[in-house]
Amino acid sequence: MPYRRIIAVVIILLLLLIPPAAMAKAKKARVKAKPGPPAPILKSAVVVDYNTGATLFAENPDQMIPPASLTKIMTLYLTFEDIQQGRVRPADLVTVSGKAYATKGTTMFLEKGEKVPLIELIKGISVASANDAAQAVAEHLGAGSAADFVARMNGKARELGMTRTRFMNPHGLPAKGQLTTARDMMTLSRAYLNRFPECLTIHSMREYSYHNKTQRNRNRLLAHYPGADGIKTGFVCASGYNIIATAKRDNVRVMAVVLGARTPKLRVSETERLLDVGFEKANGGRKQAAVGEDIQPDRDGGSFSAADPSSLPAPLQAGRIHVLTPNLGSR
């Protein structure tokens, strides 16, 4: 008898020896097997009424997660602070170093040795999430040392009460030990908007052009969510898709921090859902449809000229950024 036929006969005999009850039990077990729980849609989130500071929603708010490009909000905070205090001006020229030029990820396509007005780098960071611009700004404000600037970032974080945050670079590219929480990012974001409300004029730009290259704002809520006017998105593999979002309707401003969404689409849909929840809770359970205006943001983008400081938003003109008396109820 051929070898293959012998094997077939042996298999048939073995199957006949298995009790029918055992085969039925195995089949039943296979039918009952269920897939494991789905991966969470997001890792962490906080929603706050900006005017009152009341927390409207929280899920794992203290889970430590890489901030990704949300790091750039602290970079921008210190940049606006230096402008406000007269240490630099929006029209100042920043020389792009070799390290800034070589910075990976999203960029505004800076050239090594190029001299770029500071205001253009601010727009590149805010709209295009440009890592090269963030590195260039950090070196410029750190007197040539990005490490010194990062030390300032961590000092400011402690000053603001961000107790579970550690920055390792100015742009948010992966770095060991660079972590934050949704609660800490909300603390930073409220302080940022309170002290520099004019920043929304830039964060709400739909697109930005530099070197004849136009890039869309990575915050897709600007185009889809009524009243949305900021602030920043971020992504690295270790965190997932992050966002700090804000929207204003009538006299109510709601802010949401979402960390670790599974996909870009879920980042948008979940943030929209959480903002809806925030507005409903902020209005005592009443849904709010009317959309108000905040800082009169430039929705078309690209209307500012560093060569013509008068075209900048008034607080961004050289020497004109000022400390605003906190009045959260009016914004």
Helix, strand, coil distribution of the chain in percent, nearest 5: 40, 20, 40
Instruction: Judge contact between 65 and 46, C-beta under 8 A.
Output: no
Q: At what angle do helices 71-84 and 146-160 cross, to 10 degrees?
A: 90
Q: How far apart are CA 248 and CA 229, in angstroms?
A: 8
How many CB atoms lie under 10 A from the CB of residue 197?
14
Instruction: Judge contact between 287 and 315, C-beta under 8 A.
Output: no
Q: How many helices (H) and strands (E) does the chain have?
A: 11, 9
Buried b (16+ CB within 10 A) or exposed e, 225-246: bbbbbbbbbbbbeebbbbbbbb
**Would residue 69 show up in a list of annotated catalytic residues for this protein?**
yes
**Would residue 129 show up in a list of annotated catalytic residues for this protein?**
yes
CA-based torsion, 57, 187, 270, 34: positive or negative: negative
**Set 43, 44, 69, 248: catalytic member:** 69
- The most distant pair of C-alpha atoms in the chain lies apart, rounded to whole Å, by 99
**Set 44, 97, 126, 129: catalytic member:** 129
Q: How far apart are CA 11 and CA 5, in angstroms?
A: 10
Report phi then psi at 320, rounded to 5.
-115, 0
Whose tokens are 């709400």? That residue is: 204
How many CB atoms lie under 10 A from the CB of residue 264?
15
Q: Single out the residue of 140, 205, 134 nearest to residue 175, CA to CA.
A: 134
**Set 43, 44, 72, 204: catalytic member:** 72
Q: Hey, which residues are catalytic here?
A: 69, 72, 129
